[in-house]
Homo-oligomer: A and B are copies of this chain.
Amino acid sequence: MADPSRPARRRGRRSLSDGAARAPVARLAASQLKRLRRIVDVAVGLAEKGGFEAVRLRDVAEASDVALGTLYKYFRSKEDILVFALREEVERFEAATAARPPEGRTPLDRLTHFFERATDGMTRRPNFARAVIRSIAAGDHEIATQVAAFHLRMTRLIVASLRGEPADLAAPLAETTGNEREGRVAFVLQNVWFASLAGWAGGLHPAKTVAEQVRVAASLMLHSA
């Protein structure tokens, strides 16, 4: 007599890879770090080849030399693994962007450049990207919270592009960068980007269109009526 409205699984347990809000991948022994890495790498590899469904946890466990139960000690769910991979990806992207800020004379140029890079980074591995997008949208609160953190990171980068300044990665994420208007523009652009990526993921339009749509949105907000 299971109660469908409250699925038995996914209780308040913690996964070893947690620390979304706190220290990233906290105090894990070296061997555990290696296990985690193997799991994530295998999962990403499978996702790149065949998308969300290709990431079969039995396969992941076997290929990363870990028992299924252990895998669930590290991650709450399949989506959790993929979101973890996304987190790493976002961090890499953030570092790369901070190291080499998008070029362009006008804010619109820089934003265009920025989102071209971001879109390219996502769509370069289409199956992985689709798998990640699907994981994001699963509706889980825990996952949504992590996604909110990515949002903040991206917003910071967008504001930096808008201003033509390098992003300050050392600043606390919660801190509002830029003035109100800049933050709002960044917020809207990010939503447009996400929604457009979702459309791309569903095969509605090519990757190029994603970047174009964001540019259109940016130009609508940056230019006067």
What are the residues of chain B within 8 A of A202 when measuring CB–CB? 139-141, 143-145, 147-148
Judged by a CB distance under 8 angstroms, whether A30 is at the interface is: no
Q: Which of A36-44, A51-59, A165-173 contacts B (4 or more CB under 8 A)?
A: A51-59
Judged by a CB distance under 8 angstroms, whether A176 is at the interface is: no
What are the residues of chain B within 8 A of A137 when measuring CB–CB? 133-134, 136-138, 198
Shortest CB distance A86–B (Å): 14
What are the residues of chain B within 8 A of A6 when measuring CB–CB? 50
Max chain B Cβ within 10 angstroms of own Cβ: one of A51, A139, A220, A221? A139
Judged by a CB distance under 8 angstroms, whether A74 is at the interface is: no
Residues of chain A having any CB pair with chain B under 8 Å: 3-7, 46, 49-56, 59, 127, 130, 133-134, 136-141, 143-145, 147-148, 181, 184-185, 187-188, 190-192, 194-196, 198-199, 201-204, 213, 216-217, 220-225
Shortest CB distance A2–B (Å): 9
Q: How far is the CA of A198 from the CA of B134 in the complex (A)?
A: 12
What are the residues of chain B within 8 A of A50 when measuring CB–CB? 3-6
Contacts A7-B53, A134-B138 supplied; 10 other A-B pairs, CB < 8 Å: A5-B127, A141-B202, A144-B201, A147-B202, A184-B220, A188-B192, A190-B195, A191-B191, A191-B217, A221-B221
Please determine whether B216 and A188 come into contact, CB atoms closer than 8 angstroms.
Answer: yes
What are the residues of chain B within 8 A of A140 when measuring CB–CB? 202
Shortest CB distance A49–B (Å): 6
Shortest CB distance A116–B (Å): 18
Shortest CB distance A218–B (Å): 10
What are the residues of chain B within 8 A of A198 when measuring CB–CB? 137, 194
Q: How far is the CA of A220 from the CA of B189 in the complex (A)?
A: 11
What are the residues of chain B within 8 A of A217 when measuring CB–CB? 184, 188, 191
- 25 A-B pairs whose Cβ atoms sit less than 8 Å apart in the complex: A4-B54, A4-B59, A5-B51, A6-B50, A130-B139, A133-B137, A133-B139, A139-B202, A141-B202, A145-B202, A145-B203, A147-B202, A148-B204, A181-B220, A184-B220, A185-B220, A187-B213, A187-B216, A188-B192, A188-B220, A191-B196, A191-B213, A194-B195, A194-B198, A224-B224
